[in-house]
Amino acid sequence: MSEKLLSAFTSLGVGGRADVTVVRDTFDVKEDDVILGRGTNVVVSDLGVGRRVLVVRCGGVETAGTRLTAGGGLPLSAVARAACASGLSGLEWAVGIPGSVGGAVVMNAGAFGGCMADVVSRAVIKTPCGEERLTAEEMRFGYRSARLPFGVVTRVTFDLAAGSAADALALAAGFNARRRAEQPSGRTAGSTFLSCGGVSAGYYIDRAGLKGFRVGGARISEKHANFIIMDEGGRADDFRRLADTVKLKVYSRFNVRLKEEVRYIGEFR
């Protein structure tokens, strides 16, 4: 364990200091730990975090027929690409998603009509009381959510379908081309807000005239209104204040209450 800037562990590149432990094989979990995967859907306070932060890097991939098991700390994109290259179909939508396998389970990540709930059969979670092994039914997946005990997702098993590696890779490439065309590059946390009543948050943000709107070093992408871009020198507090402003303006205009998909970690002013 050592004190580090959490900005080094988040896709936004923001976050103050905390005691960080990188976990791989042997580790313990405490009730007040903060668990961080690849840091792609989180906003960590500029003030840091006054608790231990576990950065999950549990790895390893195994296949048995159409079943694939992967470490919770691996990048989901890399696991999905490996599945495609092995002629296993079902994760093509995930090639290009930057989060970890475990984080994707926690939030039931999805894109292009696919999601983790469609392909995950079970997971192993290390909790303060020991290991728990859950089936997909026990995880109770919902829209960008799952019902999991507190802990580190160490192993995830996917039930996939046999197919053609060439076809799977071609489909994944097509999804990635769409992702590059529709979504901005740069320092983002991914989609900022959840869809509301089946309508994308970006629809409301765009029609509220907020593309390009900024607070400090954070601004709404002009390419996709549901992405907040962090400029050089931008702070987590800028992101939070911009997100709060967007919620107020969308509610004032459309009487719609947006809810963040990103998760805030630490104390904000």
Which residue among 56, 75, 101 closes a domain?
56
74 and 41 in a single domain? The answer is no
Give the count of domains, the chain.
3
Mean pLDDT of the chain: 96
Amino acid 1: pLDDT: 55
Tokens of 43: 């906003």
- Give me the count of residues in the chain: 269
99 and 170 in a single domain? The answer is yes
Amino acid 26: pLDDT: 83
CA distance 123 to 58: 13
Q: Which residue ranges of the chain lie beneath pLDDT 50? A: none
Q: How many CB atoms sit inside 10 A of residue 98's CB?
A: 16
74 and 171 in a single domain? The answer is yes
134 and 96 in a single domain? The answer is yes
158 and 258 in a single domain? The answer is no
Which CATH number fits the domain that encloses residue 52?
3.30.43.10
Which CATH number fits the domain that encloses residue 245?
3.90.78.10
Amino acid 25: pLDDT: 85
Q: pTM to 2 decimals?
A: 0.92
Would you say 33 and 22 are in contact if contact means Cβ atoms under 8 Å apart?
Answer: no
CA distance 87 to 73: 23
Residue 221 lies in a domain: yes
6 and 19 in a single domain? The answer is yes
Which CATH number fits the domain that encloses residue 108?
3.30.465.10
CA distance 148 to 250: 32
68 and 160 in a single domain? The answer is yes
44 and 107 in a single domain? The answer is no
83 and 167 in a single domain? The answer is yes
120 and 150 in a single domain? The answer is yes
Amino acid 162: pLDDT: 97
Residue 244 lies in a domain: yes
Range of the domain at 80: 61-182
49 and 66 in a single domain? The answer is no
Which residues, in sequence order, are CB contacts of 265 under 8 Å at separation 6+? 6, 15, 34, 36, 42, 43, 44, 45, 49
- What's the burial of 82, exposed, middle or buried (CB within 10 Å: 0-12/13-18/19+)? middle
> Which residues are known catalytic residues?
144, 191, 261
